[in-house]
């Protein structure tokens, strides 16, 4: 018997390959165990250590899909992807239509309706690629997502949500959870403009999000999921009380983008011991899910306030520890394959 991977998978580098999306989707970025050595690779403002189109090497036979947040890119999840690859996983990141760094035109519920199926088609893209398909068996796949990506993984875990529930949340808690309702457009500053901002935001939300349809999605191949600092206030929490698969949560105590009491803490209260608190970072902000973090000087002031690290948060120590816990969660629930050569 050949054990395809152990905690010390024998490969030299982290392969990088971009696959065409299926059914008109954007590209799927794939990280995988490679026998080729890493080299500096420039992607936007990031210099990453990767092996572009490197020779694939057998790992543990398992695939994890990472679903990015609103306006996100694959590159802000590179450190987690590298940690997963180091333990033998193949990692695929779909580009979510209308809610990515190239095209942020339709974030929120319109994107949330599409995202789970885009994650499924990313699995298909890997399974159909001649070079990468031999590395994985897709009967048991993991899913990781942060923020809007966390909304996607909660849906994959069996959660039901509705745009009308999003509207109801914002009507009730626009002041306390303003950024969840308006995104990265503006913030409240405790001045005379706050009332106008809230009124305009609610007017738009009431006009656009009156759909009471209960949205759900299931892909039986997804057998474990983690939601990091997720948007979750629009879920029927009863549908997350007993997740259909092992579900992990990652929370940040100083998250002002998705205030925990309305989102991650509400999910934990619903699922209790039927889900797992993978990590809690009391001194972290919403941006803890991103590594590498985009250079702050390239971001607008709202992005800086919502994603920047709070004073005293030791990113260099805390984030690798979280990544290790993520790897351990998926290793536990997606056991490495054993194959007979």
CB 17 within 8 A of CB 28: no
Model pLDDT, residue 12: 82
> Which structure tokens are listed for 280?
């809690």
Which residue's structure tokens are 């092992």?
246
CB 326 within 8 A of CB 334: no
| CA-CA-CA-CA dihedral for 34, 35, 37, 40, to nearest 10 | -20
3-state helix, strand, coil in the chain (%, to 5): 35, 20, 40
Domain residues of the chain, as ranges?
2-161+214-339
CB 240 within 8 A of CB 153: no
State whether CATH 3.40.50.1820 applies to domain 2-161+214-339.
Answer: yes
Helix (H, G, I), strand (E, B) or coil at 151: helix
CA geometry: angle 31, 323, 335, nearest 5 deg: 70
pLDDT in tens, the chain (341 residues): 333 444 344 578 999 999 999 999 999 999 999 999 999 999 999 999 999 999 999 999 999 999 999 999 999 999 999 999 999 999 999 999 999 999 999 999 999 999 999 999 999 999 999 999 999 999 999 999 999 999 999 999 999 999 999 999 999 999 999 999 998 889 989 999 999 999 999 999 999 999 999 999 999 999 999 999 999 999 999 999 999 999 999 999 999 999 999 999 999 999 999 999 999 999 999 999 999 999 999 999 989 999 999 999 999 999 999 999 999 999 999 998 844 33
Helix (H, G, I), strand (E, B) or coil at 65: strand
CA-based radius of gyration for the chain: 19
CB 48 within 8 A of CB 125: no
> Which structure tokens are listed for 109?
């519920």
Model pLDDT, residue 10: 56
């Amino acid at each position: 018997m050949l054990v395809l991977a152990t905690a010390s998978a024998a490969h030299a580098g982290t392969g990088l390959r971009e696959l065409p999306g299926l059914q008109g989707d954007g590209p799927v970025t794939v990280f995988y165990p490679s026998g080729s050595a890493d080299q500096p690779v420039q992607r936007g403002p990031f210099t990453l250590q990767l092996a572009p189109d490197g020779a694939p090497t057998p790992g543990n036979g398992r695939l994890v899909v990472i679903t990015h947040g609103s306006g996100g890119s694959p590159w802000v999840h590179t450190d987690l992807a590298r940690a997963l690859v180091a333990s033998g996983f193949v990692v695929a990141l779909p580009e979510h239509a209308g809610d990515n760094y190239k095209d942020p035109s339709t974030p929120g519920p319109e994107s949330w309706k599409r995202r789970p199926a885009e994650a499924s088609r990313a699995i298909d893209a890997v399974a159909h690629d001649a070079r990468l398909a031999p590395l994985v068996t897709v009967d048991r796949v993991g899913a990781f997502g942060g923020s809007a990506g966390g909304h996607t993984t909660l849906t994959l875990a069996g959660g039901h949500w509705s745009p009308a529930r999003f509207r109801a949340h914002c009507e009730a808690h626009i002041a306390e959870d303003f950024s969840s309702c308006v995104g990265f457009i503006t913030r409240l500053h405790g001045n005379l403009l706050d009332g106008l901002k809230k009124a305009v935001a609610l007017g738009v939300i009431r006009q656009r999000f009156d759909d009471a349809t209960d949205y759900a999605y299931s892909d039986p191949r997804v057998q474990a999921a983690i939601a990091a600092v997720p948007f979750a206030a629009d879920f029927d929490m009863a549908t997350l009380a007993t997740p259909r698969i092992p579900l992990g949560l990652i929370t940040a105590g100083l998250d002002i983008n998705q205030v925990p009491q309305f989102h991650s803490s509400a999910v934990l209260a619903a699922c209790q011991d039927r889900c797992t608190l993978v990590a809690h970072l009391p001194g972290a902000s919403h941006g803890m899910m991103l590594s590498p973090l985009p250079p702050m000087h390239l971001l607008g002031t709202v992005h800086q306030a919502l994603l920047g690290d709070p004073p005293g948060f030791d990113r260099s120590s805390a984030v690798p520890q979280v990544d290790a816990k993520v790897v351990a969660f998926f290793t536990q629930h997606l056991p490495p394959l054993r194959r007979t050569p």
